[in-house]
């Protein structure tokens, strides 16, 4: 067993393809196959279940992948440690974020950061809260930005922002004319859910369960994209719940109307997430420092306490 064989194994496991792994490692496909074969002979097990269409990990392969991930994460931390001695003229930061922070807040910070440190590349990946938590746990992102979820012991989180949730409808919806809306007024109005795994969906479902005397909604659809949900409501289909920042422009233009729904007073908290004991690169540290001075985030002062500025 050697490090090149483990690298080949991890690449095949992550890409699900010997051909893709070979391309990323700048090797031939037969060379990668030979490395995997040698590794399997060393351990006396089959690491993959091969078929004509795809490559899947065996149970033994799943176990080995966990150890290779830990090994290469340690190598990465060693590299990061020594990168801190270098100037911030080169580097890379990988961010994972949910839609609201990734659309309405982070682009401004990224723009400012890039002007100050033009040599540092920033990769922003978007997903729901569950995905972002998983990315941080896997070590595939440096920093995560997401809503509250059950916090694993290996994760640290710092609340950086609170945002009000609004129920909105189109200006042509009959509910838009009401100064005050009761739950019963919603009647058979269709509701647009966000995808499973989003905290907005979880909060709204809990509220409906507590405040609706009958099952609501009777008719609904689920959309994964926040912009698609807004557009669907603007075009006249039902109502949805969204963070205020996401509909501020549409409300100003008169395309959407917030509903004063009795008892509906929900707030959403956003957190900075990182692995416990994480050794930040100098670039990631500089990004956190700039984030701590971004006043549009309501609870950004918590970063100063968390990182003892």
Q: What is the pLDDT of residues 16-29, one digit of tens each?
A: 888 899 999 999 99
Fold of 3-83: Arc Repressor Mutant, subunit A (1.10.10)
Q: Which residues of the chain register pLDDT less than 70?
A: 52-53, 81, 83-86, 151-152, 213-214, 309
Looking at residue 76, its pLDDT comes to 84
Looking at residue 236, its pLDDT comes to 92
CATH label, 163-268, candidates 1.10.3470.10, 3.90.1720.10, 3.40.190.290, 3.40.47.10: 3.40.190.290
- And the tokens for 273? 């997430």
Looking at residue 143, its pLDDT comes to 96
Q: What is the pLDDT of residues 82-105, one digit of tens each?
A: 765 567 877 889 999 998 899 999
Look up the pTM and report it: 0.66
- And the tokens for 168? 């909105």
- The residue ranges of every structural domain in the chain are 3-83, 91-161+269-306, 163-268
Q: What is the pLDDT of residues 42-69, one digit of tens each?
A: 999 999 987 766 788 999 999 999 999 9
Looking at residue 140, its pLDDT comes to 93
- Taking the C-alpha atoms of residue 137 and residue 128, their distance in angstroms, rounded to an integer, is 14
SS (H, E, C) 104-160: HCHHHHHHHHHHHCCCEEEEEEECCHHHHHHHHHHCCCCEEEEECCCCCCCEEEEEE
Please give the CATH superfamily to which domain 91-161+269-306 belongs.
Periplasmic binding protein-like II (3.40.190.10)
- Taking the C-alpha atoms of residue 191 and residue 169, their distance in angstroms, rounded to an integer, is 10
> In CATH terms, are 3-83 and 91-161+269-306 the same topology?
no
């Amino acid at each position: 067993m050697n490090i090149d064989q483990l690298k080949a194994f991890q690449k095949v496991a992550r890409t699900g393809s010997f051909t893709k792994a070979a391309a990323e490692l700048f090797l031939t496909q037969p060379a990668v196959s030979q490395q995997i074969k040698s590794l399997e002979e060393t351990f006396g097990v089959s690491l993959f279940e091969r078929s004509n269409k795809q490559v899947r990990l065996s149970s033994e392969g799943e176990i080995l992948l966990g150890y290779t991930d830990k090994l290469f994460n340690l190598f990465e931390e060693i590299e990061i440690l020594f990168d801190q001695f270098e100037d911030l003229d080169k580097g890379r930061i990988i961010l994972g974020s949910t839609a609201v922070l990734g659309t309405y807040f982070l682009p401004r910070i990224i723009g400012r950061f890039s002007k100050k440190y033009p040599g540092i590349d920033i990769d922003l990946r978007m997903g729901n809260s569950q995905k972002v938590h998983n990315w941080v746990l896997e070590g595939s992102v440096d920093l995560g930005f997401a809503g509250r979820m059950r916090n694993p012991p290996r994760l640290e989180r710092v609340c950086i922002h609170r945002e009000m949730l609004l129920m909105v409808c189109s200006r042509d919806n009959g509910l838009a004319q009401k100064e005050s809306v009761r739950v019963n007024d919603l009647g058979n109005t269709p509701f647009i859910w966000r995808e499973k795994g989003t905290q907005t969906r979880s909060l709204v479902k809990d509220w409906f369960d507590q405040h609706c005397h009958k099952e609501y909604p009777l008719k609904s659809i689920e959309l994964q994209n926040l912009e698609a949900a807004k557009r669907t409501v603007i075009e006249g289909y039902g109502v949805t719940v969204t963070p205020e920042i996401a509909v501020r422009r549409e409300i100003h233009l008169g395309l959407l109307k917030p509903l004063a729904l009795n008892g509906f007073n929900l707030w959403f908290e956003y957190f900075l997430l990182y692995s416990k004991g994480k050794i930040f690169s100098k670039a990631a540290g500089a990004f956190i420092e700039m984030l701590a001075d971004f006043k549009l985030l309501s609870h950004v002062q918590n970063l100063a306490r968390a990182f003892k500025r």
